[in-house]
């Protein structure tokens, strides 16, 4: 039983009313901002989310019997009971109303997803506002139902996991992908998964068939298998709490913790802070090797004399396909079959794996067969050669092509170095090189890629006698 507010205004209602009214005020201010005020929009959005979290944890504050300062389980149970009964009444009222022909397909805590078959965006907003008015009139003040947004089209996966084109007004022209709980907005996967999933959703929403989606995914998989991708999109970052793994063996540690311990062996001062996010990448290992044996620091993969290669099959089979299958499996798509049917590309190994510096770790057989194709025409060559006999007969023209490619790569390298110098006011290139190794910067990954390609090409040219080998390590 509650005491009426006429008798006494309680502390909890006063607190929540002020928080919620302030959040409403901030959200209204967000809608009045112009599209150019993006920074102010982000600030206001962070404030309203903070107010939402404070209001949400108020219930937990009353129910926390062990850690709470003022636990009151009866109040917490009553909050749950009132919320459930209000939600159930709203669901029954909407489903029983013949005028709207609406069906509630999902209800969670304080929200409803109402399906309106065959309605346009404007008709859906009109019916939604009628439902809001009717439900609000049924409940006592200050309980209100709000028409928050419209999804058309939409994927509703499971509880708290959905994505669709979001409309906040009937006049909205810009299509915005709004995702909750899936890989687009989650941080426990790599960038390749979120980018591929978002692009795939846009293609499916626009074309409403799987043919365009299949062609796009097969193009993406071909680029990944060919090595024509940025390593930045395949970096995972996970939280590491080294103090909590003391009872586990080293073989059962999470991948990020394994990478952190490897770094600490080389430098004990590199111990990560508690709950710090540690980056790592998955590389090719022995057949049947567990995941913990195939994780390394991204800087080890990007090093000039690195013996490692990005594990493309792991990212496709274990990360990209499962994430997309959970969504597009609802429309009958079989992404595993699409990947099996796809022709496998030939990997251009000379540009990705430099073979000029000996490395004692190259014990696997694939490092002895890095390039089987001519770097100019792509024809098969002997294992020890890099240019086919037909191209070698052209003589001076072959040297001109190789020198031209070298010049292009040198210009790209100098352009990237200029960007890095402008960003950090860095060191003089010839004397000490660019010292920045920021894994959050796309220029760093591109610089390492061009540097490897230039070093490989210059090594080939020096072996063939086209020109002396250049000093790429300056960069």
pLDDT digits (tens, 9 = 90+) for 136-172: 999 988 788 999 899 999 999 988 899 999 998 888 8
Say yes or no: 267 and 305 in one domain. Answer: yes
Does residue 247 form part of some domain? yes
Task: Give the closest residue to 453 by CA, choosing from 469, 435, 436, 472.
Answer: 472
- Cβ atoms of 221 and 342 closer than 8 Å: yes
Integer Cα distance of 434 and 453 in angstroms: 17
**Domain's final residue, options 344, 378, 411:** 344
Chain-centre distance of CA 7, in angstroms?
Answer: 53
pLDDT on residue 358: 42
Q: Does the residue 402 lie in any domain?
A: yes
Of 49, 71, 93, the position where a domain reaches its end is 71
Q: Tell whether 186 is covered by a domain.
A: no
Residue 130 falls within a domain, yes or no?
no
Angstrom distance (rounded) from CA 259 to CA 281: 9
- In the sheet with 295-296, reading across from the earlier edge strand, the strands are 236-240, 276-282, 295-296
One digit per residue, the tens of pLDDT, for the chain of length 475 reads 778 888 998 888 888 889 999 999 999 999 899 888 999 999 999 999 999 999 888 877 787 777 767 788 888 888 888 889 999 999 999 999 888 889 999 888 888 999 999 899 999 999 999 999 999 999 988 788 999 899 999 999 988 899 999 998 888 888 889 999 999 999 889 999 999 999 999 999 999 889 999 999 999 999 999 888 999 999 999 999 988 876 556 567 889 999 999 999 989 898 999 999 999 999 988 888 888 889 999 999 998 878 888 999 999 999 999 999 999 999 999 999 999 999 887 655 443 344 444 444 555 555 554 556 777 776 777 666 677 777 777 766 777 888 888 888 888 888 888 888 787 655 444 445 667 788 888 988 998 888 888 888 887 777 777 776 655 554 4
CATH number of residue 40's parent domain: 1.10.287.690
Query: What DSSP state is assigned to residue 272?
Result: P
Q: Helix (H, G, I), strand (E, B), or coil: what is residue 321?
A: helix
Q: Are 127 and 100 in contact (CB under 8 A)?
A: yes
Find tokens 């859906």 and name the residue: 124
Are 375 and 252 found together in one domain?
A: no
Task: Tell me, yes or no, whether 418 and 335 share the same domain.
Answer: no
Asked whether residue 246 falls in the same domain as residue 358, the answer is no
Are 217 and 280 contained in the same domain? yes
Judgement on whether residues 252 and 338 belong to the same structural domain of the protein:
yes
> Do residues 429 and 475 touch, judged by C-beta distance below 8 A?
yes
Tokens linked to 14: 């006063």
Residue at a domain's end among 344, 359, 388: 344
Residue 264 sits in a domain of what CATH number? 1.10.132.60
Question: Which among 309, 295, 244 has a CA at the least distance from the CA of 272?
Answer: 244
Residue 317 lies in a domain: yes
Do 334 and 367 fall into the same domain? no
222, 331: one domain: yes
Structural domain boundaries enclosing 425: 350-474
Question: How far apart are the C-alpha atoms of 9 and 312, rounded to whole Å?
Answer: 62
Same domain, 308 and 356: no
Do the domain assignments include residue 410?
yes
Question: What pTM did the predictor assign?
Answer: 0.81
| Burial annotation 423-461 (CB, 10 A radius, 16+ → b, else e) | eeeeeebeeeebeeeebeeebbbbbbbbbbbbbbbbbbb
The verdict on 357 and 468 lying in the same domain is yes
Q: Which of 328, 352, 350 is nearest to 338 (CA)?
A: 328
Contacts of 430 (CB under 8 A, 6+ apart): 474
Question: Residues 104, 113: contact at Cβ < 8 Å?
Answer: yes
Placement of tokens 């540097």 in the chain: 451
Task: Assess if residue 454 is contained within a domain.
Answer: yes
393 within a domain of the structure (yes/no): yes
pLDDT of residue 366: 54
Whether residues 336 and 220 share a domain: the answer is yes
Domain count across the chain? 3
**In a shared domain, residues 306 and 363:** no
Exposed, middle or buried: residue 368 (CB in 10 Å: 0-12, 13-18, 19+)?
exposed
Give residue-wise pLDDT tens across range 334-360: 999 999 999 887 655 443 344 444 444
Structure tokens that stand for 262 in this block: 């490897």
* Residue whose C-alpha is closest to residue 350's, from 331, 371, 365, 336: 371
Instruction: Kindly state the DSSP code that residue 224 receives in the 8-state scheme.
Output: H
């Amino acid at each position: 039983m509650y005491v009426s507010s006429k008798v006494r205004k309680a502390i909890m209602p006063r607190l929540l009313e002020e928080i919620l009214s302030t959040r409403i005020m901030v959200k209204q201010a967000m809608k009045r901002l112009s599209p150019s005020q993006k920074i102010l929009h982000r600030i206001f959005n962070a404030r309203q989310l903070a107010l939402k979290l404070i209001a949400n944890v108020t219930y937990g504050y009353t129910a926390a019997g062990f850690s709470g300062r003022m636990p009151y389980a009866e109040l917490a149970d009553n909050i749950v009971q009132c919320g459930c009964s209000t939600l159930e009444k709203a669901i029954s009222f909407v489903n029983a109303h013949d005028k709207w022909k609406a069906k509630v397909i999902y209800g969670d805590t304080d929200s409803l997803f109402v399906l309106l078959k065959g309605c346009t965006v404007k008709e859906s907003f009109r019916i939604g506002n009628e439902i809001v008015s009717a439900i609000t009139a049924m409940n006592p003040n200050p309980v209100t139902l709000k028409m928050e947004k419209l999804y058309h089209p939409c994927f509703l996966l499971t509880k708290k996991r959905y994505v669709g084109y979001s409309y906040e007004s009937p006049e909205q022209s810009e299509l915005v992908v709004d995702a909750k709980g899936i890989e687009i907005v989650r941080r426990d996967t790599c960038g390749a998964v979120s980018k591929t999933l978002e692009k795939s959703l846009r293609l499916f929403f626009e074309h409403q068939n799987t043919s365009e989606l299949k062609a796009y995914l097969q193009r993406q998989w071909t680029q990944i298998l060919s090595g024509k991708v940025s390593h930045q999109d395949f970096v995972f970052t996970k939280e590491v709490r080294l103090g909590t793994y003391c009872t586990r063996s080293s073989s059962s540690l999470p991948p990020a913790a394994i990478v952190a311990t490897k770094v600490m062996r080389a430098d004990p001062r590199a111990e990560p802070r508690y709950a710090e996010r540690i980056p790592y990448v998955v590389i090719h290992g022995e057949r049947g090797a567990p995941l913990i044996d195939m994780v390394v620091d991204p800087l080890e993969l990007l090093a000039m004399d690195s013996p490692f290669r990005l594990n493309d099959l792991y990212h496709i089979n274990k990360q990209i396909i499962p994430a997309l299958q959970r969504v597009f499996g609802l429309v009958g798509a079989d992404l595993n079959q699409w990947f099996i049917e796809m022709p496998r590309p030939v990997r251009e190994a000379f540009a990705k794996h430099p073979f000029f510096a000996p490395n004692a770790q190259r014990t696997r057989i694939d490092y002895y067969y890095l390039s089987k194709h001519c770097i100019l025409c792509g024809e098969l060559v002997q294992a020890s050669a890099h240019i086919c006999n037909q191209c070698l007969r052209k003589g001076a023209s072959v040297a001109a092509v190789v020198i031209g490619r070298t010049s292009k790569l040198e210009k790209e390298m100098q352009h990237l170095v200029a960007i890095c110098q402008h960003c950090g006011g860095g060191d003089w290139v010839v004397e000490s090189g660019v010292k920045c190794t920021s894994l959050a910067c796309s220029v760093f990954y591109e610089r390492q890629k061009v540097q490897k390609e230039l070093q490989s090409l210059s090594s080939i040219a020096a072996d063939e006698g086209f020109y002396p080998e250049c000093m790429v390590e300056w960069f």
